[in-house]
Amino acid sequence: MKQYLTPLSIGVTAILTALILSNAYKYRFKSAEEISVVGLAEVDFTSDLIVWQGSFQRKSMDLRDAYALLKADEKAIRAYFSGKKIQDTAMVFSSVSIEKEFDQTIDSRGNASSVFSGYRLTQRVKIQSTDLERIESVSREVTELIQTGIEFQSEEPLYFYTRLSSLKMDLLAKASADARKRAETIASSVDSRLERLKRADMGVFQITGKNSNEDYSYGGAFNTSDKHKTASITIRMDYRLK
């Protein structure tokens, strides 16, 4: 009986080995029938909305005096902006914030104490407009208010784009077309054709300053400091070949 077992075992082993190799070959062949590509699209555009903010403040030992001075400044600032042809509807003045301030003193014995030095009242103003050039000009000239005794602190303008959703959809379509073109090029190089799309994953939407060295962010960059910007998006697409 033993003389028959050895050939039988060898035969079974050979069959199993052939099946394993056959399955492995089929798996490799199946994997080779799929390709993954990344499409890219980008576009330069100019912002169509500007947001500019600033603040002003007054300080007095008497709260009512400080408030009266601040309201007088607000009136003067409104008149100044109106003189620059900025519409009242474009101005938003915030509520007044009040802060008690104290000076630290040390007496002759070296003991430290706090002495009330007055009320500091602060108010902010935000201007939002589609007239970018006008607001940019005013933001540079606003130091003229200092000559009237108003301590106005100006911030850098922020730039936005109101048709961002439409721009993003257009970029996505172009990135998809770019990915398919890449896939077709690869398929033709191996004498094959695309059969169907298996999966598509959109990458991160990025907005950076045009011609800048601004780094991309893992969660997506959203530049607001530059008027002229570049938007880009990627999409990964997996295709089956035939």
What does pTM read for this prediction?
0.79
Whether the predicted pLDDT of 19 surpasses 90: no
Give the pLDDT confidence of 96-107 residue by residue, as tens digits: 999 999 998 887
- The domains found in the chain, sorted by start residue, are 35-46+163-241 (3.30.110.170), 49-160 (3.30.70.2970)
Q: What is the pLDDT of residue 3?
A: 52
Residue pair 116/102 in contact (Cβ under 8 Å)? The answer is yes
Residue among 104, 101, 150, 147 at smallest CA distance from 125? 150
Three-state DSSP class for residue 97: strand
For the chain, the straight-line distance linking the first and the last C-alpha, in angstroms and rounded, comes to 52
Is the pLDDT at 64 greater than 50? The verdict is: yes
